[in-house]
Amino acid sequence: MAAQKLLSLLVFQLALVAFILDVANAQGLKIGFYKNTCPQAEEIVKKAAASFISRAPSLAAPLLRMHFHDCFVRGCDGSVLLNSTSSNQTEKDAFPNLSLRGYQVIDAAKDALEKKCPGVVSCADILALVARDAVSMMNGPYWQVPTGRRDGRVSQLQDALNNLPAPTFGISALKSSFAAKGLSVKDLAVLSGGHTLGMSHCSSFTNRLYNFTGKNDADPSMDPNYVAQLKTKCKPNDATTIVEMDPGSAKTFDVDYYTLVSKRRGLFQSDAALLTDSTTNAYVQLQRTSKSTFAKDFGVSMVNMGNIGVLTGNSGEIRKKCYLVN
């Protein structure tokens, strides 16, 4: 009995230490981290982002996705920004990242910051700030972004393939993927709402339209009328055509995504999966009502995601160019 109590106490203490370390790591981040070292940092980033997004609003979605893809691989350390070299293929060249766009926005913000405050603001923080500003510019919520991340020195293609949740994931795989990063089932439901912005290549979902189970059939979880509509735009093996993820609202950050999902018109299997779990389904249904909490929730979940595996203090570096290690 005594041994069992001792074991329970030991397990509890280990869990507590792990929790404290995790919190301490995230606590290396804080609102206004650059207040003394580069007071205009956030304004400089916002100005750079606005100069591109005002001319090309379609950049907002891939910039939001870039932050997500960064955080899910090695943590939010800017590793997705690094270029491949002759001896190493980086995350940037992994298949799920080939459709990311907007690296020039990050580079422009970095160049402006290096002129004003050389060697101070990390590329990982620029990415987190640009994601927030991109959403805000599309009529979405604005949230305070804790900063203080440092940049990683490692980026490997295989890490992206191993860690990024695929659009073909079902609910179990999605929950496991998010839980492995310390994110909750609610975070999964909330962050999926980012699909309110942007476009997708047909190749990411044509498996749902043609030959879903090997019998020339469509995914039964998708509205048959929507299947027919999508078939007019996407032919089998089409690798070039793009369609809106949130038809009619793909350039506005709103709750329409959840209405579509509830009507079985989510584009990806991962969207449809939200209806197959009681927690995520309840969240989808709530957002369709006047009591929608999506705008507030999105900022909270983005901060949670922005805490994944951050490098702070003396870890990592502050890159001079976001696409190269120093």
**Residue 91 assigned to a binding site:** yes
Burial of 310 (0-12, 13-18, 19+ CB in 10 A): buried
278 carries a ligand binding annotation: no
Q: Is 93 annotated as a binding residue?
A: no
244 is in an annotated binding site: no
Taking alpha carbons only, the member of 152, 45, 156, 197 closest to residue 106 is 45
Q: Is 67 annotated as catalytic? A: no
Query: 317 by DSSP, 3-state: which?
Result: strand
* C-alpha torsion angle, residues 260, 262, 265, 266 (rounded to 10): 80
Q: Which of 180, 265, 258 is nearest to 219 (CA)?
A: 265
Contact 97, 80 (CB under 8 A): yes
Structure tokens, 312: 């702070």
Measure the CA–CA gap between 148 and 7, rounded to whole angstroms: 38
Per-position DSSP letters for 141-188, written without gaps between them: ------B--BB-S---HHHHHHHSPPTT--HHHHHHHHHTTT--HHHH
Supply φ then ψ for residue 120, to 5 degrees: -110, -50
* Residue 114 is labelled as binding a ligand: no
Judge whether 57 is annotated as a binding position. no
| Pairwise CA distance, residues 315 & 309, whole Å | 11
Q: Is 22 marked within a binding site?
A: no
- 246 appears as a binding residue in the annotation: yes
Q: Is 23 annotated as a binding residue?
A: no
Query: Could you say which of 46, 69, 132, 264 is catalytic?
Result: 69
Q: Is 79 annotated as a binding residue?
A: yes
DSSP H/E element including 244: strand 242-244
Q: Is 67 annotated as a binding residue?
A: no
Q: Which residues are annotated as a binding site for substrate?
A: 165
Q: Which residues are annotated as a binding site?
A: 70, 73, 75, 77, 79, 91, 165, 195-196, 246, 254
Q: Which residues are catalytic?
A: 69
Q: Which residues are annotated as a binding site for heme b?
A: 195
Q: Which residues are annotated as a binding site for Ca(2+)?
A: 70, 73, 75, 77, 79, 91, 196, 246, 254
